[in-house]
Amino acid sequence: MSSRRILAMQQVINREPLESDRPAEKVSNYYGSDVFGKDAMREFLSEEAYESLQNSISHGTTIERKMADQIAACMKAWAQSKGVTHYTHWFQPLTGTTAEKHDGFFEPIEGGRAIERFSGNQLIQQEPDASSFPSGGIRNTFEARGYTAWDPTSPAFIWGGTLCIPTIFVSYTGEALDYKTPLLKSLHALDKAATDVCQYFDKNVTKVIATLGWEQEYFLIDSALYNIRYDLQQTGRTLFGHASAKGQQLEDHYWGSIPERVVAFMRDFEYECHLLGIPVRTRHNEVAPAQFECAPVYEEANLAVDHNQLLMDVMEKVAIRHKMRVLLHEKPFAGVNGSGKHNNWSLGTNTGKNLLSPGKTPKTNMQFLTFFVNTVKAVYEHADLLRASIASANNDHRLGANEAPPAIMSVFLGAQLSNVLDELEKAVHSGKMSPEEKTALKMSIGRIPDILMDNTDRNRTSPFAFTGNKFEFRAVGSSANCGWPMTVLNAIVAEQLIEFKKEVDALMEKNVEKDEAIFQILKKYITQSKKIRFEGNGYGDEWKAEAKKRGLSNIPTTPPALEAMIDKKSLHLFESMGILNHRELEARYEISLETYTKKIQIESRIIAEMVNNQIIPAALNYQKGLIESVKGMKDIMSAAEFKKYSESQMDLIKEISDRVTLIKNEAVLMTEERKKANNLDSAKKQANAYNEKVKAYFDSIRYNVDKLEAIVDDAQWPLPKYREMLYLR
């Protein structure tokens, strides 16, 4: 009988390629048509309601109940005009995915009839029984309710035939239980801090937003193969699998010609994205076989995060239509590259200026330098927290695995900007500057735009790199909700800018001239934060040694990395910025630990199941045939012949027995460690035990399973192999 794998492979081979069903039209014809955006608002809202909503979006003003009723009714009318019958508050609980509970618009009325209704109350707030979402102990069962509240800054949209209203999600007592709440607060803090600093340079700046353009990496595999890989289904990654002879070593996949089947998928998910106003624009093959990337045009960070969360959902659904599965896990396959979500981050003003892009005048260049140096300083001060913000069981496979930025936080500036900072450090001194010195300094700053024009310096090994007009936080994991690392980044930069302003103002009060005061503080920051700057190869062992010398942390696994979330510095940061109080932060820390434990626990269980139900039976089955063959040889051969010819088969038989025994014993020991870990009395102890004790068996079990894969008859091996999964026609 053929193995399940052979049957699945036949399905893959016989697949008729699916055509894309994207209409043959230009994107601008339908872009954003499933979004309750400005156009829809103009069409459906009264002037008054439109103004009130726009005001709320730009200035955070509250919308009156009466107005909310009107907006809700119009939203409903718009949605109904598109055949929509249900609505949902759409939020981002700490599970990392999105949550939705659909409700119908209709209400039964007397006479056995029904009408459609959607009130302002229903739009603004819901009280879901949300006791099953992670809360880190914040919510006791007697106050199991949480509530969701409308975020008017992210427009409602129609997805899957349902009107989705982006909301925050908080406990009944007001604590944040989601990613959006702290993100919005961090954006608010950053706006205030950055706008204040902008006043030194430009009084017209009244608002600063963070901008985010994420680059999303992912793998695709055929559904037939995915459906019989329980590890992929349940953990998102392959727990076993012998490396394919041809992996990524020829570097022939990166930016290669995209397989037709994949292009059809890309066209379709991009189409869905464009209907939803998600500006995905770039697509290409990534480094690993079957790995791809998409990237949008950047947007305001809160909207960009919503769009990324939505994109991941869209991709997963559209892939299924194309008989493929999208793998968003950070490391679905060992031995080839994992996937990240590079977060390109910058700051934009209401005057249309990118604060991390130098301008034409010395003044704008000084403004650029101010934000640039303060960001570097913020990363230096809170490197460990930034590291913690991207920590997850999945991402541990990437960081420091010689293909992704290391777990050591550092900042890459490029040679030219490094020079500018070095020059600045030398030129400025604490005493009064002479007019000549000032001119020299201004000249050197004046050169920045030209420097950046031909700044093609790229460093792919840095976790946090300046790329000409933005910073790229490259260590973020592909499946992560990037709202959290963005919250941290916004928070630390906000805190830093407040500190900066305080210091500059203090000097100015002592009659130091403004420009000079700014330079002096910047110089101080440049000196203080030097250690975090690194221009070399982040993958090399030399960097690990060098970083250690510099006193930078290198924490390769999640449980110890998470500690930085709740150290004094972080607690103070989040509280003083009004983003998360101690209780909320500690709850988040607990949840991160629990999530880690559960992920490793599931992996460990799946390893034991697959080993016992699939791998060992396949190996023993193959061995049985060998034994029969040897027995048969004995019957038909002379003793001398038998000795000569049975030897290699006997070796195989013994090797199988050896490996099966090793696997079996280790699986038992692993299960025992799991039991011990489960009995520990704190989330921290459990996570550490899973990290240090349980996970310790994964590699050695896998090693022997992969060796078996290499010797067992191909026709009898039950699991799709790397060479099959990583190959997409």
Query: Closest CB to ligand ADP among 339 and 467?
Result: 467
Nearest to 293 by CA among 461, 478, 466, 470: 478
Opening angle at CA 28, ends 27 and 33, nearest 5: 95
Q: Tell me the closest approach of the beta carbon of residue 721 to ligand ADP, in angstroms.
A: 33
Exactly one of 35, 295, 391, 619 binds ligand ADP (CB under 6 A); that residue is 295
How far apart, in whole angstroms, are the C-alpha atoms of residue 292 and residue 216?
8
Query: Closest CB to ligand ADP among 323 and 353?
Result: 353
DSSP for 610-632 reads HIIIIIHHHHHHHHHHHHHHHHH
Q: Tell me the closest approach of the beta carbon of residue 291 to ligand ADP, in angstroms.
A: 16
Selected range binding ligand ADP among 212-220, 437-445, 505-513, 693-701, rule: CB under 6 A: 212-220
Q: Tell me the closest approach of the beta carbon of residue 241 to ligand ADP, in angstroms.
A: 30
Question: What are the structure tokens assigned to 611, written together?
Answer: 């080993």
Q: Tell me the closest approach of the beta carbon of residue 301 to ligand ADP, in angstroms.
A: 8
Selected range binding ligand ADP among 196-204, 211-219, 244-252, 579-587, rule: CB under 6 A: 211-219
Q: Tell me the closest approach of the beta carbon of residue 296 to ligand ADP, in angstroms.
A: 5
Q: Tell me the closest approach of the beta carbon of residue 344 to ligand ADP, in angstroms.
A: 3
Provide the mask over 18-57, with x wherever binding to ligand ADP is found by CB under 6 A and - wherever it is not.
Answer: ----------------------------------------
Q: Work out whether 211 is an interface residue with ligand ADP (CB under 6 A).
A: yes
Exactly one of 187, 212, 465, 512 binds ligand ADP (CB under 6 A); that residue is 212
Query: Closest CB to ligand ADP among 212 and 399?
Result: 212
Q: Tell me the closest approach of the beta carbon of residue 154 to ligand ADP, in angstroms.
A: 17
Nearest to 345 by CA among 460, 213, 458, 186: 213
Query: Closest CB to ligand ADP among 5 and 353?
Result: 353
Question: What are the structure tokens assigned to 652, written together?
Answer: 């195989």
**Residue with the closest Cβ to ligand ADP?**
213
Q: Tell me the closest approach of the beta carbon of residue 626 to ligand ADP, in angstroms.
A: 53
Q: Cα-atom radius of gyration of the chain, to the nearest Å?
A: 29
Query: Closest CB to ligand ADP among 298 and 371?
Result: 298
- Binders of ligand ADP among residues 298 to 327 (CB under 6 A) are 298
DSSP for 424-481 reads HHHH--SSPPPHHHHHHHHHHHHTHHHHHHT-----TT-SEEE-SSSEEETTSBTTS-
In terms of Cβ atoms closer than 10 Å to its own Cβ (0-12, 13-18, 19+), residue 563 is: middle
Query: Closest CB to ligand ADP among 229 and 470?
Result: 470
Q: How far is CA 120 from the centre of its chain?
A: 34
How far apart, in whole angstroms, are the C-alpha atoms of residue 655 and residue 667?
18
Exactly one of 354, 621, 649, 671 binds ligand ADP (CB under 6 A); that residue is 354
Task: Say if residues 130 and 144 touch (Cβ distance below 8 Å).
Answer: yes
Exactly one of 155, 213, 483, 485 binds ligand ADP (CB under 6 A); that residue is 213
Which residues have C-beta within 8 Å of that of residue 495, sequence separation ≥ 6? 193, 378, 573, 576, 577
Instruction: Quote the strand ranges of 91-235, DSSP E.
Output: 103-104, 106-109, 113-116, 125-126, 146-150, 157-159, 162-171, 208-222
Residue 218, SS3 per DSSP: strand
How far apart, in whole angstroms, are the C-alpha atoms of residue 145 and residue 161?
27
Selected range binding ligand ADP among 107-115, 206-214, 369-377, 525-533, rule: CB under 6 A: 206-214
Query: Closest CB to ligand ADP among 235 and 344?
Result: 344
Residue 346, SS3 per DSSP: strand
Q: Tell me the closest approach of the beta carbon of residue 681 to ligand ADP, in angstroms.
A: 45
Q: How far is CA 621 from CA 228, 656, 664, 720, in A?
A: 19, 10, 16, 18
Exactly one of 7, 297, 415, 545 binds ligand ADP (CB under 6 A); that residue is 297
Query: Closest CB to ligand ADP among 295 and 475?
Result: 295
Q: Work out whether 163 is an interface residue with ligand ADP (CB under 6 A).
A: no
Exactly one of 162, 302, 344, 392 binds ligand ADP (CB under 6 A); that residue is 344
List beta partners, residue 471: 345, 466
Selected range binding ligand ADP among 17-25, 290-298, 473-481, 559-567, rule: CB under 6 A: 290-298
Percent helix, strand and coil across the chain, each rounded to 5? Answer: 55, 15, 35
Selected range binding ligand ADP among 205-213, 514-522, 548-556, 593-601, rule: CB under 6 A: 205-213
Question: What are the structure tokens assigned to 681, written together?
Answer: 């009395």
Selected range binding ligand ADP among 40-48, 116-124, 233-241, 296-304, rule: CB under 6 A: 296-304
Q: How far is CA 341 from CA 177, 210, 218, 553, 666, in A?
A: 23, 17, 9, 22, 35
Q: What does residue 163 show for φ and ψ, rounded to 5 degrees?
A: -75, 115
Which residues have C-beta within 8 Å of that of residue 198, sequence separation ≥ 6? 205, 208, 349, 355, 367
How far apart, in whole angstroms, are the C-alpha atoms of residue 18 and residue 707?
37
Q: Work out whether 610 is an interface residue with ligand ADP (CB under 6 A).
A: no
Q: Tell me the closest approach of the beta carbon of residue 379 to ligand ADP, in angstroms.
A: 16
Q: Tell me the closest approach of the beta carbon of residue 304 to ligand ADP, in angstroms.
A: 8
How far apart, in whole angstroms, are the C-alpha atoms of residue 463 and residue 459?
9
Selected range binding ligand ADP among 207-215, 324-332, 571-579, 634-642, rule: CB under 6 A: 207-215
Selected range binding ligand ADP among 154-162, 244-252, 293-301, 619-627, rule: CB under 6 A: 293-301
Task: Say if residues 377 and 497 touch (Cβ distance below 8 Å).
Answer: no
Residues in the interface with ligand ADP (CB under 6 A) total: 15
Exactly one of 32, 134, 277, 296 binds ligand ADP (CB under 6 A); that residue is 296
Using the CB atoms, write b or e for 635-674: b if 16+ within 10 Å.
eeeeeeeeeeebeeeeebbeebeebbebbbebbebbbebb
Selected range binding ligand ADP among 14-22, 208-216, 252-260, 707-715, rule: CB under 6 A: 208-216
Q: Work out whether 346 is an interface residue with ligand ADP (CB under 6 A).
A: yes
Q: How far is CA 500 from CA 77, 199, 448, 525, 669, in A?
A: 49, 13, 22, 9, 55
Q: Tell me the closest approach of the beta carbon of residue 209 to ligand ADP, in angstroms.
A: 10
- Tokens 């696994």 belong to which residue? 557
Q: Tell me the closest approach of the beta carbon of residue 75 to ligand ADP, in angstroms.
A: 29
- Binders of ligand ADP among residues 445 to 474 (CB under 6 A) are 467, 469-470
Q: Tell me the closest approach of the beta carbon of residue 599 to ligand ADP, in angstroms.
A: 29
The residue ranges that bind ligand ADP (CB under 6 A) are 211-213, 215, 295-298, 344-346, 354, 467, 469-470
